[in-house]
Structure 1
């Protein structure tokens, strides 16, 4: 079922999600809802969606990986590189969030991350993510911990921009 994506002001987005005990029908229902909701996001399009964003405080997210929607359940960070992702040719990677549509900020996150997680079949996986997919994983894990990308912008003293048409307008972030 397609769910409403909670806006950034919703207090549920500030809560830490709880781990899933086992991958059962309830968990798979949340995964299905996340996939359906993410796949219908068009303005803006999304590349990841965490369970708290649809009001479910569970450690689950889905992400676009190599053109497929992948479910990640109970992710645990095993290793994270010290090297930050670089710049694109025309500037830094602009990170955004479906809970704050059309707002973006230049966040440099670690370039590589290794996580342990459960897949939809309940099998444990260990996987490396590099570059943009590493950024997606870190953004979604932040959601599971009640952290928003605007918090990362503030701690890194980076600006927040609103995309209006083809123009970037810098916004006050306090």
Structure 2
């Protein structure tokens, strides 16, 4: 189900609690995130659960390397990062763009929708998107 986008900085700035991919409520949050991302696909490539009013560590992003498929991560954590650079990013929850520091290559540990623990490497644009969405989980506003 498509959900309303949260724009209140007070809510976006709060860290999120761990999510359980085997819990039906947390799985529904992931489904709603995918639906909401698809509805805003023209202006958005990723979302964190707090953007739809849920303080859970769930993100979704579009991975062009996988044909534009929406990928869901529960409890993502960056375990390694290389190639720091400065950039500017926008966010569906915020007006305009803001400067931020990102890394060109990252490694992430997370749980998938089936509850399996995963480890993956990402680079370039996809890595940047994931870092932005993990910031959402941590209550970091760019």
Q: Does the TM-score normalized on the shorter chain lie above 0.5?
A: yes
Match of 1:52 in 2: 50
Q: 1:139 aligns with which of 112, 122, 132?
A: 132
The yes-or-no answer on 1:62 pairing with 2:55 is no
Deviation, structure 1 residue 27: 1.5
Q: Structure 1, residues 17-74: CA drift from partner, whole Å, max 9, x if none?
A: 01124422212110110011011115x6101000011110000010001210000101
Structure 1, unaligned runs of 5 or more: 86-91, 150-174
Q: Name the one with the larger helix percent.
A: 2
Structure 2, unaligned runs of 5 or more: none
For the pair shown, the structure with the greater C-alpha radius of gyration is 1
Deviation, structure 1 residue 93: 4.9
Q: Structure 1, residues 80-131: CA drift from partner, whole Å, max 9, x if none?
A: 11x224xxxxxx8541101014x12344411111010011111111001101
Match of 1:115 in 2: 108
Q: Which ranges of 4 or more aligned residues in structure 1 deviate by more than 6 Å?
A: none
Higher relative contact order (CA 8 A, sep 6+): 2
Structure-2 separation of matches of 1:99 and 1:148: 10
Structure-1 separation of matches of 2:52 and 2:132: 16
Q: What is the TM-score when the length of structure 1 is the normalising length?
A: 0.74
